[in-house]
Structure 1
Amino acid sequence: MASFNSNYVYITYNGQFLQEAALQLPVTNRAFQYNDGFFETLVVEQGKVRFLAEHWERMQEAASILGLEVPKDLTIDKLEETIQALVLKNECASLARIKLKVWRTGEGLYTPQTDAVDWLLTAHGMESPSLITMAVGICQTVQTLLSRFSTFKGPNSLLYVMASREKKKRQLEDLVLLTASGHVAELTYSNIFWLKDNILYTPSLDTGCLNGVMRRHLLKKAVGKWTVKEGVYAPQALHLADLVFASNVMGLRPIESIEGKPLTLQLPLLEEMRALAFG
């Protein structure tokens, strides 16, 4: 294997390191042809992978739902070791965005030839994400749809692509996605939570929202400390809340207004939530 050069960006393909420019995939690739797989977005900070256990949990769920056979040697420890080696190779171990893509290998049409998988890791340095308040709108062009695939990233991504186009066109920082019946589901790249009278609320998975890694983490950490309610809620619930915030693996971000209408911002509550998430 050729020696590594820090002037290049490296990836890991099926456990092997190579330069990003060297990767070649056939046009018959099932991820390209049929979106036959899933992906995870992870964060590395100071060499440590955030919330790896929750990512691994969602990976196993996605693989089971899609009938994918993850290699036996791709364990949670191996994944962590490989990510840490990759960020060192790319000189971005202080803060990096990691993408893990897993897809069914082989060719074929709709009927797969095999359930074995290929997997790919990429790592790129990133700036600290903004955690300041944001103004959002209500998405008008697309709605969430509950399915077996809606809880993980992959087959449902077009929903977020189209919502993000609307967000960009309207020059908003994010959009609240609703169900077909008009209930709150999530944001374009985050789950949504709110606090009211010491109760932590979030939409249930029945809304078709992503079962995000930070969502999983917060709900686990909140047990015994907060009353938690997952359910189906109208957008008006957000206007009655003491605090509304977005959550994803990057962190928690407060929402100050929806469609120009200000929300209550009890920021000390947000600090409690951040302490819960990262404490």
Structure 2
Amino acid sequence: MLNFNGELIAPDTFKVTSENRAFKYGDSIFETIKVQNNKVVFFEDHYFRLMASMRMLRMKIPMEFTLEFLEQEILKTVAIQENSTSFRVRLTVFRKDGGLYTPKTNDIDYLIEVKENTYQTKSVYRLDLFKDFYNYSGLLSTIKTNNRILNTVASVFADENDLDNCVLLNERKGVVEVTNGNIFVIKDTIIKTPALTEGCIKGVVRKKIIETLEKHPEYTVEETVISPFEIQKADEVFITNAIVGIQPVTHYRKKSFKTEIGEKLQKNLQVLQFSS
């Protein structure tokens, strides 16, 4: 079942028109959210990122769009699912039909989709660069719009080359992120992740990992510019997103990595999920 503007409907009854702006212009944003044991994980962070994204795109935020309202709509949709305690939720917000580049209205519709979360962290995880096209730096790249063609093409490239993921670069050849999350690079006691000014998504789990690392004086965390060469020289690399949490990378080209720090942080993150 889907939740469209608060109404639960069967997936095969949901239709978009030829005037749908998410379809025609990518005039849409989304949040991918984990629900575990009937708890919406890190929802406050997802909610405030959604609100900031809607304001940036000049969408009209409905009065009822409170944190509590959207959380209950998500749980209402999860409640009719069966045979699982872990779910992957996509909350999509798009401007109502009509207009060309200039919309007829800034009012929005929303859609909540729920699927069982079957992801398991992989013991072997291979990564390489995607260099055909760039993820351009700038604030617009930090929000999750429906325009994910770069991520799609890079994912096809990964599949064709027996990789698990690809590193995306910006126009300055700096590391931005991977196709489905943020990236962290560890060398000695320094843990780096691309700064938001590099064009990476303002990831919820990225934020949680940075906050966790700042409480551990044995590590120095830096939001900075990262060159692809630094991945090659790293001791460890891991990626983050809301569903995976942390996925350690084991191979990058001919380089093999340790995974101890990533695995330790994953355990800390699991504790945070249920204490927040």
What is the SS of the residue equivalent to 1:149?
A: helix
Matches within 5 A, 1:66-215: 66-91=57-82, 94-215=85-206
Q: Which residue of 2 aligns with 1:251?
A: 245
Match in the other structure for 2:6:
15
Q: Tell me which of 213, 227, 234 is aligned to 1:241.
A: 234
1:118 is paired with a residue of what secondary structure? strand
Report the count of equivalent residues: 268
SS at match of 2:139: coil
Give the alignment's TM-score, normalised by structure 1.
0.90
Cα distance in 2 for partners of 1:80, 1:275 equals 25
Deviations 1:147-193 (A, max 9, x none): 33211211541110111121112121111111222221111111100
> CA 1:108/1:153 → structure 2, altered by over 3 Å: closer, same or farther?
same
User: For residues 276 and 156 of structure 1, what CA distance do their matches in structure 2 show?
Assistant: 33
Residue 183 of structure 2 aligns to which amino acid in structure 1? I
Unaligned stretches of 5+ in structure 1?
1-9
- Give yes or no for contact 2:142–2:201 (8 Å, CA) kept in 1: yes
- 3-state SS of 2:138 partner: coil
CA–CA distance in structure 2, aligned partners of residues 199 and 278 of structure 1: 23
Q: Give the structure 2 partner of residue 38 of structure 1.
A: 29
| Paired amino acid for 1:161 | T
Instruction: Deviation per CA, 1:39-86: give whole Å up to 9, x if none.
Output: 111111111111111211210111011001121112111111111121
1:275 maps to which residue?
267
Aligned-partner SS, 2:250: strand
What is the CA distance between 1:115 and its match in structure 2? 1.0
The separation in 2 between residues aligned to 1:60 and 1:103, in whole angstroms, is 13
SS at match of 1:238: helix
Residues 77 and 37 (structure 1 numbering): CA distance in 2 closer, same or farther, change over 3 Å?
Answer: same
Q: Which residue of 2 aligns with 1:5?
A: none
In the alignment, residue 254 of structure 1 is paired with which amino acid? P
Residue 238 of structure 1 and its aligned partner are, at CA, apart by 1.7
Hey, what's the Cα distance between the residues in 1 that align with 2:213 and 2:60? Answer: 33
> Aligned to 1:82, what secondary structure does the other structure show?
helix
Q: Which amino acid aligns with 1:251?
A: G
SS across alignment from 1:210: coil
Q: Please give the alpha-carbon distance, in whole angstroms, between the structure 1 residues aligned to 2:5 and 2:115.
A: 18
1:104-153 CA-partner distances (Å, limit 9, x unpaired): 11311111121110000010113133342311111122211113321121
Match of 2:274 in 1: none
> Does 2:56 align with 1:65?
yes
Distance 1:93 1:80 in 2: 19
Q: Distance in 1 between matches of 2:269 and 2:95?
A: 34
Residue 13 of structure 1 deviates from its aligned partner by 0.7
- Across the aligned residues of Structure 1 and Structure 2, the Cα RMSD in angstroms comes to 1.6
| TM superposition shift of 1:93 | 5.1
CA contact (8 A) 1:202 1:230 kept: yes
Report if aligned partners of 2:169, 2:177 keep a CA contact under 8 Å in 1: yes
Identical columns (%): 29
